[in-house]
Amino acid sequence: MMRNKVILITGANGEVGHGLINQLSAIKDMPPVMVLDIRGLDKSMESKVYETIVGDILDNGLLETLVSEYEIVTIFHLAALLSTHSEFRPEAAHRVNVQGTVNLLQLAVEQSRISGRPVKFIFPSSVAVYGMPDIATKNAAPPVKEDEFTIPTTMYGINKLYGEHTGRYYTHHYRQLADVPQRSGVDFRSLRFPGLISATTMPTGGTSDYAPEMLHAAAKGEPYACFVRPDTAIPFMAMPDAIRALLEIADAPRERLTRTVYNVTSFSLPAGEIADIVRSAFPSAQITFEPHPQRQGIVDSWCAQMDDSAAQRDWGWKPEYDLNRAFHEYLIPTIRKQYT
Ligand SMILES: NC(=O)c1ccc[n+]([C@@H]2O[C@H](COP(=O)([O-])OP(=O)(O)OC[C@H]3O[C@@H](n4cnc5c(N)ncnc54)[C@H](O)[C@@H]3O)[C@@H](O)[C@H]2O)c1
């Protein structure tokens, strides 16, 4: 039976999913997009996808039916519980972020077995995989490479780090003790994102959300109490760059890739400086700082800057939105228009 070729996006109804669907639907000669999300897909997105499946990545029966009906060529596995949510519900986070990821990897193995072709598996990881031991080390560290300081303190960070390693296992070492050596057929590629800031969607449940929340609140004329100290610095990236990075890593020739996980980043600045930029664009913005001890602790454990030289070298990664462009050409004008 000929099966229709599709790209599968899990967690497609989230912030990154919406951006990815918009981009993919604009590219010619792409296989159609099938989405799977426990919440279903916003009406505004429906016309841009081929099929919407409302379901749980923990539902193995459902996943099995997908490979029996379609040929999945690429999986963008975005479904996850984000960092703040994961601290409130660590066991649920483990199920979704770890078991859910293994379920999708198994689906990729099964798909490759049927089609005889490798299945690309794109996995967004996070700056949350880092665990800086203390603030002094964080502030003194040069931009952090992929394999440094990976001792995360959050369930989310631990789950993401495990996802990265599991993907590497499926790509290079799957069933190494099996009598007949077999390759999994999984071509896993992961990007470690910094905090993402979108002009069009509001984030929920992330611990870098103070930056977008500050901007959106100011544009709406609402007061905002930032949950970290003004001197708190982490890396960020504008959403269009994050989407482009996902498409570029998916497209990169396998032989150019020397790793299965790559840092990608754009700019890094303290929360107080974000507040200054927001106030200069929206002079009536009412921003206060009321650090939340636990959320502050989480952000303090993330590195201030990530080193993305491996991505630059191997597949030509370069952000298009530096600090200035991100705020003055993308975020501020788009957000201003949205609320006026
Ligand atoms: N937004 C960021 O700043 C950021 C930074 C680094 C990495 N990431 C990663 O990028 C990916 C997408 O993030 P996002 O910001 O779009 O998150 P989001 O919370 O906006 O979207 C996640 C989506 O996953 C879905 N989902 C959750 N559990 C599910 C389940 N059991 N079965 C099916 N669907 C389920 C949710 O309904 C939601 O639509 C995640 O893997 C996240 O960890 C995001």
DSSP string over 113-158: HHHSS-EEEEEEEEGGG---SSHHHHHHPPSBPTTSS----SHHHH
Domain membership of residue 45 (yes or no) is: no
pLDDT per residue over 231-280, tens digit each? 999 999 999 999 999 999 999 999 999 999 999 999 999 999 999 999 99
Domain membership of residue 124 (yes or no) is: yes
Whether residue 162 is predicted with pLDDT greater than 80 in this model: the reply is: yes
Domain membership of residue 87 (yes or no) is: yes
Domain membership of residue 207 (yes or no) is: yes
Domain membership of residue 220 (yes or no) is: yes
Distance 192 CA to ligand 1 centre (A): 14
pLDDT value at residue 3? 86
* Known active-site residue 162: no
pLDDT per residue over 184-238, tens digit each? 999 999 999 999 999 998 888 889 999 999 999 999 999 999 999 999 999 999 9
Catalytic site residue from 50, 70, 130, 156: 156
**The total number of structural domains that make up the chain:** 1
Calculate what percentage of the chain has a pLDDT beyond 70. Answer: 99
Instruction: Tell me the C-alpha distance between 56 and 39, whole Å.
Output: 9
Whether residue 300 is predicted with pLDDT greater than 90 in this model: the reply is: yes
Domain membership of residue 101 (yes or no) is: yes
Q: Whole domain around residue 113: which residue ranges?
A: 80-339
Distance 293 CA to ligand 1 centre (A): 24
CATH code of residue 333: 3.40.50.720
Instruction: Tell me the C-alpha distance between 117 and 183, whole Å.
Output: 11
Question: What is the average pLDDT value for the chain, to the nearest integer?
Answer: 96
In the block, tokens 């880092």 appear at 130
| Ligand 1 contacts CB of residue 211 (under 6 A) | no
Instruction: Tell me the C-alpha distance between 110 and 105, whole Å.
Output: 9
pLDDT per residue over 174-195, tens digit each? 988 877 667 899 999 999 999 9
Cα 79 from chain centroid (whole Å): 9
pLDDT value at residue 311? 98
Domain membership of residue 277 (yes or no) is: yes
| Ligand 1 contacts CB of residue 185 (under 6 A) | no
Whole-angstrom CA distances from 189 to 4, 21, 291 are 24, 19, 35
Pocket test for ligand 1, best of 9, 13, 16 (most atoms within 8 A of CB): 16
pLDDT band at 1 (very low <50, low <70, confident <90, very high): low
Distance 174 CA to ligand 1 centre (A): 26
Whether residue 301 is predicted with pLDDT greater than 90 in this model: the reply is: yes
Look up residue 338 and give its amino acid: Q
